[in-house]
Chains A and B, each alone.
Chain A
């Protein structure tokens, strides 16, 4: 009997050994996790005689099989297996003592004296089985981290000391590189360089791989081409970008069913032509239907300038029917405006300015039965690039929206109204860990309407103008648009603030529990809110399902400190 390394002595070996049979003559103390694949088994135990390409592979000599198995075990973090051989040398019985899986105990980095990588930010490495895949993950993470910092072409090599579990990274960051050129294929029928209008970077900017991904995402979202890949090639202190485009046909037809944060089933259909004219204008006609809202709308992003520009005219028409608990309204809207996007790292902006002509017919609830408004609408959206980058898995960034609608009764409007809405959300990744441990969020909205009419019977504003709160999108301890309580009359002002803390990437099955509290109030007058103050603490859980996030919340509503009741929400696709 011999073994190398020495098999555990009988004194140290477990008295009761959970032995599993790998194949004839090969036993394993405990079981290999994950099990060997069929190919791996063939290289240890031999192939079946009827399928083997040669008899030579039906039986694998012990030393060779041991060599193979050692590699396969290394792939599974078993770095100290021991082999005990008994029986005749030409037909030995082998017992494999797997030993414990080696786990990563520490990571050190050479080549980063400034600690730009901040390896301590990387979670889910320490304590994990020391496998080649783990080293790949870590190497890729460091590469990605450096590419965000402008090191477009770093070289990262790792070494793991299996006796100590220490991982050593050797990093050659190279130089920080700026974007030199953007080249690549043009899109048939479009002016060259059209896609650059979606890029959140300019030539000369410091390379940042996150911005490359955002560009890719924006193009996919707009749908101007089927897909886009931006390749890079380092050249001295510059990095040249090449766009590989798969254009696909320009027209896109879609049908969909789903649910929304209002907790209701919804359906939609749309037809879109994403490449109209040389400027790549976008025409989108769509219809939505849910129990509460049915609409049909057309939108046109007309890039009218004769060169590649982010400025476009934005005509929009919509016909809708909204049926809420406290009101029911028909609306027809026509709008045209000039819009543009601006990116200034780390922020991206969308500006819109234009007239909006809307007709309302209130079928139920407070407000004028029929009304007409000609607004001058101003919209500003500010979205930070991290918010955009992490859109699928929100964890950082800020998103703010400001909407101002102004009408005057002397200009084709029934009533003079000024409506201001500021809404937004911010997310912070505590300690900037990756993947995050605690994600803290804050969201809120402030709306006020300045008009001569007061809410209530005979008011001149359409019902949809009045402010209600409650629901998954605002105060989660109350039903949808339930506030103000026991009143069908909405306010002219509202404000709410929600805060949430989510424990992320800790529980199994990608379940993230979270705590939250929402606070809000409604004011019957302009620029003010009245008591009571509504608030609702709650708990929830988020599941990152393969097809999108699923959230369950349970909150209790309070009115001026008095408990009101519990409210449960289920949502799919919604993030904080």
Chain B
């Protein structure tokens, strides 16, 4: 019986246990599936009361709601919405309120254990907080909004260790600390990934009352392009936040392959301004940065160009609030010093100092930034540079490659943040056996802001203080084709041009370079003249129009029409296209009995040539004198040549080059086709030998008389015989007009 009762009792117990287990499981499942059963405002208020009683942490709110959504079996996402959520610790020693709190968390109930696997988004609107340390109140406010979702699935608290001395002994100081090992990964909205692992230590020291949060984190930030690794060591105290960062970033941009930061100290501390409650912030930075710049291996090897540039960034900034209030003024100095670069061919060094005064939250253009730059790049030996470049694709062309000397580029002066400008100066002092190339220049690099784009811009004024250059020895009567004939294009290039035209925007490099000569004009050594040709330049190079300004050629002797002539002046008022540039020139040719002035006007493509003489001659006589040395008594061929030349001059068909060609070669005859504007010349090469210059065309010329030269012609006649038949005759004729 007893056994039977025992069995019965056991059965009841087992049944009860099973019911309890089932009920518990059902409850757990119900809570897991419908967590609002337990996660509701009354429960929260009850929990808050328990919390306040047990931990001196008090929280209260006007309203608090929880929305839950299932993201998987035993996984829930909660969205907490609260208004006027406040918290306090130890009777308002630390307290804070936020007008509106929105926060999302995702919790995993599997393994019958709650686990936070994601946090976010979080929004704390108008968060005000303060810390009361007896005689000092530290307060602050912020709006916190994070739309990102921090994935904490892999996060774990690896250990919580509490350290400390016996706090029950009132005579001894004690400290309490918690060590947390944390690990987290998250996919950010811009598809970049952040993972962090580290240790956080929270410590409280009773003797000073200091609360200190120490942390050490290693973080990997994988961007869509490039990676950042950083090691952050630091601590936060109520009056100081100190961070020491070391790390590296790779492939962040085309021009920057690697940035290495080592022991970059960021120190934010609060200092009392007065004995009252206010503190102000001091931010000090001492940050050595090493930037790797891309240099082609060949050039790096040849030019010994360092691939790393060291920059030391230092700052000393202050703000009247601690923690800093971004609505308040921040002022101080920021300095970036470039660690001197020294190669066998150039030296570079410099620094940028900026005095800043700004309210960070206000627009950029309200910031006051007085900055000064002092950057230097010196080429100590141009000839060595030439020698090295000779082996590369950037070899220095003639006539510059024989120059020797040094050059210097300095960027020093005031920087303007509004305009984004960096002023610079440059100097060269180069020489060769007959040449010189000294220039001084100044200008600025900068960025133009247009809508959301920054357009690089350079403005420069270059003064050619002492320039003497040699041209190649050319036959100016028949100059070679030095520029490509733009009429020839490739299919691809044609497409590119048309696409470039259609896609043209204003994001390209803007430049404006003014080039002027100093008191000493540029001197050009050429086969034009036995003496240097002096040229004064006042040019403006820019993207549109590409070329503008004036070139003034001064006086120089020149062989013109086989006489010693003098180029009195030649001014080119440059336009784009070049052929429309206006010219104003004057040449004086002295003969035994006459002095002839040739004036050039209009444009390069359509020059107007005007003649005058002393004593006065007609245009025809002047051309006769110029071509054949006499105003009259020309043979028929010469007369025709004079007339052709005159017609070509009148039509503007005689370009500067062809005029010089006529003037510099012994002309036997000149031909001109007024229909096509083609000028041709027969040039005497020697006794009895001639050469046809100029372009002939396929057009048939009319006339049954062909001039052979001088007084000789071939004449074809058709005459009627006495019997009425036609007879064609060809005569070699000597003809003379008188």
- Give A residues with C-beta under 8 Å from B: 37-40, 42-43, 47, 51-57, 59-64, 68, 70-72, 74-75, 79, 88-90, 124, 130, 132-133, 135-137, 140-141, 143-144, 147, 157-164, 209, 212-214, 216-217, 220-221, 226-232, 242, 244-246, 248-262, 266-268, 293, 320, 322, 329, 331, 388-393, 403, 419, 421, 423, 434-435, 445, 447, 464-465, 467-468, 473-474, 546-548, 571-575
B702 within 8 Å of A (CB atoms): yes
* Chain A residue, CB-CB nearest to B399: A56
Report the separation of the CA atoms of residues A546 and B701 in the bound assembly, to the nearest whole angstrom.
Answer: 13
A259 CA / B434 CA spacing, docked (Å): 64
A23 to chain B, nearest CB (A): 15
Q: Is B674 part of the binding interface, using a Cβ–Cβ cutoff of 8 Å?
A: yes
**Is the beta-carbon distance between B647 and A144 smaller than 8 angstroms?**
no
The complex places the Cα of A329 from the Cα of B93 at a distance, in Å, of 151
Q: Is the CB of B401 within 8 A of A144?
A: no
Task: Please report which residues of chain B, range 475-527, place their CB below 8 angstroms from some CB of chain A when the two chains form the complex.
Answer: 475, 478-485, 487-492, 494, 525-527
Contact stretch, chosen from B192-200, B268-276, B453-461, B691-699: B691-699
- Tell whether, in the assembled complex, residue A246 and residue B706 are in contact, meaning their CB atoms are under 8 Å apart: no
- The contact of A57 among B398, B479, B734, by CB within 8 Å, is B398
A252 touches B735 (CB 8 A): yes
User: B728, A571: Cβ atoms under 8 Å?
Assistant: yes
Given known A64-B398, A137-B697, A143-B676, contact A244–B726 (CB-CB < 8 A) = no
B69 within 8 A of partner (CB): no
- Nearest neighbor of A252 in chain B, beta-carbon distance: B737
Question: Would you call B391 an interface residue if the criterion is a C-beta within 8 Å of the partner chain's C-beta atoms?
Answer: yes
Q: Within 8 Å CB of A137, what residues of B?
A: 695, 697-698
Which B residues are in CB contact (< 8 Å) with A133? Answer: 695
When C-beta atoms are compared, the residue in chain A nearest to B723 turns out to be: A464
A226 near B737 with CB under 8 A, answer: yes
Which residues on the A side are within 8 Å of B651 (C-beta)? 231
- Is B473 at the interface (CB under 8 A from chain A)? yes
B490 → chain A, closest Cβ, in Å? 6
Nearest residue (CB) in A for B468 is: A54
CA distance A253 to B713 in the complex (A): 13
Q: Say yes or no: is B683 at the interface (Cβ < 8 Å to chain A).
A: no
A-B contact pairs, 11 of them (CB 8 A): A52-B472, A53-B470, A89-B392, A137-B697, A164-B491, A226-B636, A231-B650, A268-B731, A464-B722, A473-B726, A575-B728
Interface size classification for chain B: 35 or more
Residues of B contacting A403 with CB < 8 Å?
Answer: 724
Give the A-binding residues of B (Cβ under 8 A): 387, 390-393, 395-402, 432-435, 470-475, 478-485, 487-492, 494, 525-527, 620, 634, 636, 639-640, 642-644, 646-647, 650-651, 672, 674-676, 678, 695, 697-706, 708, 714-716, 721-738
Contact status of A548 and B738, CB under 8 A, knowing A39-B474, A61-B397, A214-B702: no
Tell me whether A253 and B722 are in contact (CB under 8 A): no
* B490 adjacent to A162 (CB under 8 Å): yes
Whether B733 pairs with A57 at a CB distance below 8 angstroms is no
Contact A53 B526 (CB under 8 A): yes
Contact B485 A132 (CB under 8 A): yes
Cβ-defined contact, A221 with B727, below 8 A = no
Q: Could you tell me if A254 and B735 are in contact, using CB atoms closer than 8 angstroms?
A: yes
Residues from chain A with Cβ under 8 Å of B401 in the complex: 56, 61
Do B646 and A140 touch (CB < 8 A)? no
Q: Is B488 touching A162 in the complex (CB atoms < 8 A)?
A: yes
The answer to whether A217 and B702 touch across the interface, beta carbons within 8 angstroms, is yes
Instruction: Known A-B contacts: A75-B485, A221-B704. Give 19 more (CB < 8 A).
Output: A130-B488, A132-B487, A135-B487, A140-B697, A140-B699, A159-B488, A162-B490, A217-B703, A244-B650, A246-B646, A253-B737, A256-B715, A257-B731, A260-B729, A261-B727, A261-B729, A389-B700, A403-B724, A575-B728
**Chain B nearest CB, measured from A438 CB (Å):** 17
Contact A90 B643 (CB under 8 A): no
- Which residues of the other chain, B, contact A232 by a CB distance below 8 angstroms? 674
Q: Are A57 and B470 in contact (CB under 8 A)?
A: yes
Beta-carbon contact of B728 and A63 below 8 Å = no
Q: With A and B bound together, what is the CA distance between A79 and B125 in angstroms?
A: 70
Q: Smallest CB-CB separation from A545: which chain B residue?
A: B714
In the assembled complex, how far is the CB of residue B184 from the closest CB belonging to chain A, in whole angstroms?
52
A54-B732 CB under 8 A given contacts A213-B675, A213-B701, A227-B639: no
Most A C-beta atoms less than 10 A away, residue of B396, B401, B483, B728 = B728
Q: How far is the CA of A474 from the CA of B400 in the complex (A)?
A: 74
Residues of the B chain whose Cβ atoms lie less than 8 Å from the Cβ of A40: 480
Q: How far, in angstroms, from A164 to B491 measured CA to CA in the complex? A: 8
Does B400 lie within 8 Å of A140, measured CB to CB?
A: no
A157 to B485, CA, bound (A): 12
In the complex, what residues of B have CB within 8 A of residue A546's CB? 706
Contacts of B488 in A (CB 8 A): 74, 79, 130, 132, 159-160, 162
B730, A572: Cβ atoms closer than 8 Å: yes
B483 to chain A, nearest CB (A): 7
- Which B residue sits closest to A41, measured CB to CB? B480
CB distance B435 to A54 under 8 Å? yes
A249/B738 in contact, CB under 8 A: yes
> Within the assembled complex, what's the spacing in Å between the Cα atoms of A393 and B699?
10
Contact of B714 among A79, A226, A447, A548 (CB under 8 A): A548
User: Is the pair A60, B398 in contact by a Cβ cutoff of 8 Å?
Assistant: yes
Instruction: Out of A38, A54, A228, A261, name the residue touching B402 (CB < 8 Å).
Output: A54
Q: Are A248 and B639 in contact (CB under 8 A)?
A: yes
Selected from B487, B492, B706, B726, the residue in CB contact (under 8 A) with A160 is: B487
A39 to B471, CA, bound (A): 12
A residues near B398, Cβ cutoff 8 Å: 56-57, 59-61, 64
Given A47-B473, A229-B643, A251-B738: A473 in contact with B702 (beta carbons within 8 A)? no
Would A547 and B487 count as touching, CB distance under 8 A? Answer: no
With known contacts A89-B390, A144-B675, A465–B723 Cβ distance under 8 A = yes
- Complex Cα spacing A574 to B717, Å: 9
Hey, which chain B residues are within 8 Å of A391, CB to CB? Answer: 702-704
Smallest CB-CB A-B distances: 6 pairs: A573-B730, A54-B470, A256-B733, A56-B399, A256-B731, A217-B702
Cα distance A403–B488 when bound, in Å? 58
Contact A258 B730 (CB under 8 A): yes
Instruction: Tell me whether A213 and B485 are in contact in the complex, defined as CB-CB below 8 angstroms, given that A232-B674, A244-B643 are known contacts.
Output: no
